[in-house]
Amino acid sequence: MLVTKLKDKDTVASLICGKAFIINCHGCKEVGFPERDAAEFQRELESDGKVSGILTMDYICNPENIALNLSLRKDEIDEADCVLVFSCGVGVQTVSSLLEDKRVYAACDTYAVPGGQGVTPLEFDCRQCGECYLNLTGGICPLTACSKGLVNGQCGGAKDGRCEVDPDMECGWERIQRRLAMVGRLDVLRSPVQIRNYDNEVNAAE
């Protein structure tokens, strides 16, 4: 079981330069979504003229399902400077992987709560850390794509792009840097150091 909570609205709104294409996932029973808060926030963005379209569907973590729906809404996505996703971290990562040259942002943080995790697709992983970093990492999760779960850049041990802990995998932070370069957001690597709040995980159920 996991729950998503809306991030600070002003912080999220500040990421939108022109218009955002919004994606809501109302997918799985294992996830609690902040549907009322999200709808209210989206109405505010719409009244400010900051929305090019809204897609609400189930299971955006299913790559074929979301890819088909994104292709049907291409014009509205092209009109937007970014895509704002209201889902758990897996959904945001799935959308981000399909729109590599688009800025894809997480509108929610994802928290674990006790109980079974439900069926999680294998394509991407979210550790439900309670403080989603995807808006700073080009939509690639630093906790699961980096062997050490580093949130402030690479350790310096990668060789030929491979992780020093697990040479079978590509260095997650090299992937993150490439993605940030693709969407013109390398500036975020100069932002203040992220202090990870481990208390979020301990108190996730609150």
Q: Which residues bind ligand SF4 (CB under 6 A)?
A: 89, 110, 126-129, 132-134, 141, 143-144, 146-148, 150, 154-155, 157-158, 163-165, 171-173
Q: What is the sign of the dihedral through the CA atoms of 26, 99, 89 and 16?
A: negative
Q: How far is the CB of 71 from ligand SF4 (least distance, A)?
A: 24
Tell me the residue nearest to ligand SF4 as measured from the CB.
89
Q: Which is nearer to ligand SF4, 53 or 59 (CB)?
A: 59
Q: How far is the CB of 2 from ligand SF4 (least distance, A)?
A: 9
Q: Which is nearer to ligand SF4, 51 or 145 (CB)?
A: 145
Closest C-alpha among 179, 180, 201 to residue 191 = 180
Q: How far is the CB of 80 from ligand SF4 (least distance, A)?
A: 22
Long-range contacts: 68-72, Cβ < 8 Å, 24+? 70/95, 70/98, 70/99
Q: Which is nearer to ligand SF4, 37 or 164 (CB)?
A: 164
| DSSP track, 103-143 | EEEE-EEEEE-SS------SS-----BSS--GGGTTT--HH
Q: How far is the CB of 190 from ligand SF4 (least distance, A)?
A: 18
Q: Which is nearer to ligand SF4, 53 or 62 (CB)?
A: 62
Q: Which is nearer to ligand SF4, 105 or 173 (CB)?
A: 173
Q: How far is the CB of 143 from ligand SF4 (least distance, A)?
A: 4
Tokens of 59: 């299971």
What's 59's DSSP letter?
A: -
Q: Which residues contact 37 (CB under 8 A, 6 or more apart)?
A: 6
